[in-house]
Structures are given as C-alpha cells and as structure tokens.
C-alpha cells in the first residue's frame, strides 16, 4: 500500500471559522465529499457548497444541547478503519460506514473562557468532548487519515490542498499526528489546572504552546527555548533579541523591583508593581548574573540611579537595570555613561529614548503590568522541585524585637531593604 494518501472525504467540526472559507472552496474544487456538524454545517451550506450533516450519517440527532453530536460508531469507524486491513474494510461495508480521510477540528476555547472570568457553568460547557475524541482518533490512524487539530494548522492544510492537490505523505501525516496530541495534551492540562486551583492534587502539569527559540541556551552549544508570551511582559523599544541569560536576569530584576510598592498603589502579590510620571519615590536595581549588585530607593530617579550605581560600580558593567519609575532625560544621560545590556522601566520620556537608543544592540524594554508566576519549578536530579513563589513583602509590622533596646525608625527602614534582596 502506498504511503501517499489522497483526500477524498473530510469531516469538519470547528469552533473558529476564520480562514476556513478558502479551505472549504479548495476541498470542493478537488471533489472532496464534506461532512460537518452544527455551526460548521451551516457555514459550509451558506457558501453554497454541498455538505452532508453528521446526523444524516449516524441517523441520530444532536442531543443534550449539542453535547453529543459525533460520538457514534459510524463517525469513529470511518476515521479509525484501517484501509490495509481487509476485516476492517468488510465491517465498514457491512455497517455502511463511510471512510473519512481528513478530520478538521478546532476545539472550544476553554482557556479563553477561563481567562474571561466566566461563570463555572460557562467554563464547564467549554470542555470539548467530541472534538478531542475526533482529534485523538484521526491522529491514532495517521497511516490513513490527515488530522488538522486546530486553526493554527489551517495554513498547513491549505498548502496541502493547493500545492499537492490534497495528497499527503506518511511523514506529513505523522507530523500532524504529533501536533494533534500536543493540542489535546495541552487542552487536558489546562482543564486539570483549572480544577486544581481548588482541589490541590499533588500532580505536576506544565504546558505551554508558545515557543520562542533563542539564539542558544546558557552556552553556545546548548539549545534554548522560552515558552511563554514575552509580549505580555515587555514591549521591546530597541535592541537585539533577548537571550537565555538575558531572560534569567530580567526575571531576577522583575522579581526584585516588584518588592518595591508604587506610591498610592497597593502591591498585588501576583502582579508587577510599577510607578511612572510624578512619582513620590523611585527605586532602581542593577542585576548581574541574577544577583543584585546595587539597589536604591530615593525621592527622585536620578538620585536612586546614582546610589544604586555606587553599590558596586564594577559589577554593574554589562548588567541589567530596572526601575519602577518613568525614565527622564537627565537620568537617561547618566545611565548612558555605563555599558549595560538591558534597561527595563514602565515608561520613558521621548528625549530619554533618543539618548538610550543611540546604540542599536542595547535592549530597552517597557515593562507591562502582567501577572507573575506564583510557583517556582526547577529540574533536579531525576525529577522536579516545586515550591510556592516567595511573594511576601515584609513590612515593619512583621518585625518582633526581642531585645530591650528598640530600633529607630531609620534603622527599621534600613533593615527592610536587604530583606528584599
């Protein structure tokens, strides 16, 4: 049996209809028989393209408010049937089950629903059952079936249809199968994490599909990838791409500056605190190899910079600078005297940026008000260490003096600073 398979029939059941129309048109041009469910059926029918409702295949209506549509042997038999297995083919013929060569699915947006602070009832209804089952079935039978597991792969399918007339190799189908299981495993992990906010089951599930390939890891011979959306944390205003080591320093910097509350703004323990404009106080930290080599809080940013720099002017060379105040031109001119890798701030005056962006490789980041992680995870030996992130910012109220001599107010203030480091 040839490893090349031509798509002759397709089952389409998608949430996102964006960019679906050209796919439907291409499938129709190639003479592919289309099957669809619910809203997808209506979408295709509105394009005046022939399509068969899944209910007409199963002889069973969609029930329970749409919770059960495709969970039927006539659907899954057509997907899971092995074309090289004579017994499978005889059973497909006996039970009048049509072969399905292509399955296109886009799951209910569970994570977006959770992020939108929806009700529990709405969130539960966005747990896709049939869609996940279709993806897993088609991915399992990649020898015979093409699986498109999300709208992110629509472009891949469009290319197959336009450039290859709907023909796929075994290697292509296996690759799409791997992508499919990445989609379903991520989806299930997101559901587990939602429930585990309250259930607190001791099971580690970390999943992120947003991969940013870095130039290299800690050293040039190591591969490095950042999983996450950097655009949620920073707006890059100047400079080269962030490296693995840059990101470690940025993380240390952001964690440290979050300890310094903005005036008139109570620090939320799971958010970055920041200040800008006419601030009452300003804090600056200089980070080198994930450690602070200078930190200061003063009534204005220029003084905070000078005193942070005085902490260790030698180690500050080539470091990462962070502040929770708006960077003005005067401070920018002083900072510009130092060779540094990265500057992070919540805002910059226009004339300050003119000074700071003179060097094209210097990284200038505008920090956004994003949610910090609440858990620390490290790979250790043959497993992982997990702990709650230290999000507590101590105040004088947390001190318990056990000597007869009490500290002065100034001494108490001085003691609070090193606790944050």
Token pair 């409702």: residue: 53
Beta-carbon count within 10 A of 241 CB? 12
Q: How far is 346 from 344, CA to CA, in rounded Å?
A: 7
For residue 326, how far is the Cα from the chain centroid? 28
The single residue of 271, 289, 299, 368 carrying the catalytic annotation is 289
Phi, psi at 389, each rounded to 5°: -70, 145
Check residue 266 and give its pLDDT. 41
Indicate the pairing of strand 9-14 with strand 102-106.
parallel
Q: Map residue 352 onto helix, strand or coil.
A: helix
Rounded distance between C-alpha atoms, residue 320 and residue 250, angstroms: 7
Beta-bridge partner residues of 342: 320, 363
Beta strands in 183-299 (DSSP E): 211-213, 225-227, 234-238, 282-288, 291-298
Is 353 strand, coil or helix?
A: helix
Rounded distance, CA 322 to CA 252, Å? 10
**Structural contact between residues 130 and 70, judged by C-beta atoms closer than 8 angstroms:** yes
**Looking at 346-393, which runs of residues are DSSP E strands?**
363-367, 375-380, 383-388
For residues 108 and 123, give the distance between their C-alpha atoms in angstroms, rounded to a whole number. Answer: 10
Q: What is the model's pLDDT at position 2?
A: 58
DSSP class of residue 397 equals G
- Tokens read off for 242: 């962030």
For 282, the 3-state DSSP assignment is strand
Q: Is 289 a catalytic residue?
A: yes
Residue 250 near residue 290 (C-beta atoms within 8 A): no
Q: How far, in Å, CA of 356 to CA of 346, rounded?
A: 15
Alpha-carbon dihedral sign for residues 149, 153, 158, 161 = negative
- At a CB cut-off of 8 Å and minimum separation 6, what does 379 contact? none
Which of 140, 164, 186, 236 is labelled catalytic?
140
In angstroms, the CA 260 to CA 20 distance is 49
Mean pLDDT by 10 residues, the chain (421 residues): 85 94 96 94 95 89 81 92 92 93 95 90 92 96 96 94 94 96 95 92 89 93 94 94 95 91 43 43 94 93 95 94 95 96 96 94 94 88 90 83 90 82 76
Task: Give the model's pLDDT for residue 44.
Answer: 96
Q: What is the pLDDT of residue 66?
A: 78
* Residue 61, pLDDT score: 81
- The β-bridge relationship of strands 282-288 and 291-298 is antiparallel
**Distance (Å) of CA 12 to CA 20, 53, 114, 173:** 10, 10, 25, 17
**Residue 114, pLDDT score:** 92
The whole-number pLDDT of residue 272 equals 47
Helices 154-164 and 21-29 cross at an angle (nearest 10°) of 30
Give dist(CA 211, CA 395) in Å, integer. Answer: 39
Task: Enter the pTM of the model.
Answer: 0.81
Beta bridge partners of 388: 375
Would you state the pLDDT for residue 261? Answer: 61
Predicted pLDDT of residue 275: 36
CA atoms of 205 and 187, how far apart (whole Å):
11
């Amino acid at each position: 049996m040839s490893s090349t398979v031509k798509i002759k029939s397709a089952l389409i059941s998608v949430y996102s209809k964006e960019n679906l129309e050209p796919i439907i048109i291409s499938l129709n041009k190639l003479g592919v028989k289309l099957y669809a469910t619910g809203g997808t059926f209506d979408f295709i029918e509105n394009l005046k393209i022939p399509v068969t409702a899944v209910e007409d295949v199963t002889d069973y209506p969609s029930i329970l408010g749409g919770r059960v549509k495709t969970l039927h042997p006539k659907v899954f038999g057509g997907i899971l049937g092995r074309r090289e297995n004579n017994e499978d083919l005889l059973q497909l013929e006996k039970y009048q089950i049509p072969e399905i060569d292509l399955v296109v699915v886009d799951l209910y947006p569970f994570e977006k629903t959770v992020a939108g602070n929806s009700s529990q009832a709405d969130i539960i209804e966005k747990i896709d059952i049939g869609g996940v089952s279709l993806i897993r079935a088609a991915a399992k039978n990649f020898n015979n079936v093409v699986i498109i597991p999300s709208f992110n792969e629509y472009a891949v399918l469009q290319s197959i249809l336009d450039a290859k007339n709907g023909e796929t190799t075994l290697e292509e189908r296996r690759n799409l199968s791997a992508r499919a299981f990445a989609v379903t495993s991520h989806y299930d992990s997101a559901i587990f994490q939602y429930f585990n906010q309250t259930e607190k089951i001791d099971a580690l599930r970390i999943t992120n599909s947003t991969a940013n390939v870095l130039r290299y890891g800690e050293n040039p011979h190591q591969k490095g990838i950042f999983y996450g959306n950097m655009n949620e944390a920073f707006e890059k205003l100047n400079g080269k791409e962030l490296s693995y080591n840059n990101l470690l320093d940025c993380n240390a910097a952001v964690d440290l500056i979050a300890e310094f509350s903005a005036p008139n703004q109570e620090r939320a323990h799971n958010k970055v605190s920041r200040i800008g404009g006419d601030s009452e106080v300003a804090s600056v930290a200089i980070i080198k190899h994930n450690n602070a080599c200078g930190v200061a809080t003063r009534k204005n940013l220029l003084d905070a910079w000078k005193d942070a720099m005085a902490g260790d002017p030698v180690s500050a060379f080539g470091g990462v600078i962070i502040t929770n105040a708006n960077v003005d031109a005067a401070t920018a001119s002083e900072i510009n005297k130092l060779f540094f890798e990265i500057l992070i701030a919540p805002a910059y005056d226009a004339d300050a940026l003119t000074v700071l962006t003179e060097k094209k490789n210097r990284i200038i980041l505008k920090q956004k008000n994003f949610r910090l992680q609440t858990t620390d995870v490290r790979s250790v030996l043959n497993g992982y260490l997990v702990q709650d992130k230290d999000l507590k910012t101590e105040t004088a109220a947390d001190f318990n003096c056990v000597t007869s001599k009490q500290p002065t107010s100034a001494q108490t203030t001085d003691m609070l600073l090193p606790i944050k480091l």
